Amino acid sequence: MPFTALLLNASVAFTGFYLISKLYHSDRFGSFRFRGFLIGLMTGGLGLFLMMNAVQANEEVRVDLRYLPLVLLAFYGARFPLLIATVIIASTRFLFGLTDQAVVAFIATFVIGVGMWWIHRHVHRLLLQSMLLHVWALVITSISILINLGWNTAYVEIVLTFWVVGLLVGTLASLLAIDLEQMTRRSKEYKHSAERDHLTGLFNRRMWEERTTSLVSERRAYNVLALDIDHFKHVNDTYGHPNGDLVLKRFAELLKVETRAHDVVARIGGEEFVILIYDLSPEKVVKVAERIRERIAVEAFVLSDGTSIRISTSIGIAHGSALPVESMSSIADSALYEAKDKGRNRTVVRRANAHMLVPN
């Protein structure tokens, strides 16, 4: 009976492993703190469920695999969710009686949680780390059972069964956790590769089009900035394409530094970049563009041999609302060409609506 009950614990824990792992890697939550709190609650609830299906060694001593959900959080290094889950699992043990055995289990759960965090911080080989997390939990749980049950035949039978099931489950859980981690990592790499420009790490043209498809329906004021590097062909011809790539990378980094996190920055061609900025008036967006232009102008772009060069950028801005991005991009391109015709290293803005284009 103990063996069967512990295997049931393990089966439920595996299901919880998968769900918690999916939630941990989800990007559907804007708040990292909220997601961590939710993961902690789910993990604590899973631990409580495992306790409710525990092996009843006697009237007061319960044996289960409540530590398994904590292993996953420790493996991911999720400190805040681990703390929440540890508190929930430790505290809810008292729902089954306010006894000395419950106090021992309460303390043991916190010892397990702290030890798991230490192991995560100091052991970096994934398989070894995961197995040590399980062994640590088995050791502390065995000690707590010994304190509660004493050394007798029942203790030996339960602990032997607990270790056999625990090591079996620990091995499978370790492989599952590592597989989930690697699968998620590969998925993110594929997604990043499909969405990002390989050289600069900015959004590519496909993602630019995808992120701007809803601009007409949103009916918000927005700005499209079209930028390119002045005389970039001269940079490539003079210093070589590898150095040109270095200039492009640093240029992209500066664009990210000088824009907000929710602005959309993309590279759509060789030295052609675009930025989508919501909810700024023409006057304010010009200030943003000028800040970018001035930052580029004073930056020392370091080449592969250690020398540095200066470059400049021209910027065209289209300001409007309820217009397709294609129209706004065309207007921004026209403003960019005007900036180049006027001598480069300058910003030109144009207001636009569905019926007319008015130069600023």
Whole-angstrom Cα Rg for the chain: 29
Specify the pLDDT at position 73.
87
Burial 319-333 (b: 16+ CB within 10 A, else e): bbbebebebbbbbbb
Specify the pLDDT at position 353.
64
Cβ-in-10-Å burial (0-12, 13-18, 19+) of 203 comes to buried
Q: How far apart are CA 40 and CA 173, in angstroms?
A: 19
Q: How far apart are CA 173 and CA 166, in angstroms?
A: 10
Please state whether beta strands 313-320 and 347-352 pair in parallel, antiparallel, or not at all (unpaired).
parallel
Specify the pLDDT at position 112.
92
- pLDDT tens-digit map of 38-61: 889 988 988 888 888 776 656 656
The alpha carbon dihedral of 35, 36, 39, 44 has a sign of negative
* Residue 240 CB partners (closer than 8 Å, separation 6+): none
CB hemisphere CA count around 128 (13 angstroms): 6
Q: How far apart are CA 21 and CA 25, in angstroms?
A: 6
Look up 271 and say whether it is catalytic: yes
- pLDDT tens-digit map of 209-260: 888 888 877 778 899 999 999 999 999 999 999 999 999 999 999 999 999 8
Residue at 25: amino acid letter:
H
345: left (phi over 0), alpha (psi -120 to 50) or beta: left
Which residue ranges form the domains of the chain, and what is each CATH number? 2-195 (1.10.1760), 205-359 (3.30.70.270)
Beta bridge partners of 357: 352
Residues of the chain with pLDDT under 70: 1-3, 5-7, 9, 27, 29-31, 55-62, 189, 191-192, 353-360
Specify the pLDDT at position 286.
94
Specify the pLDDT at position 356.
41
The SS3 call for residue 349 is strand
* pTM of this structure: 0.56
Choosing from 218, 271, 272, 326, the catalytic residue is 271
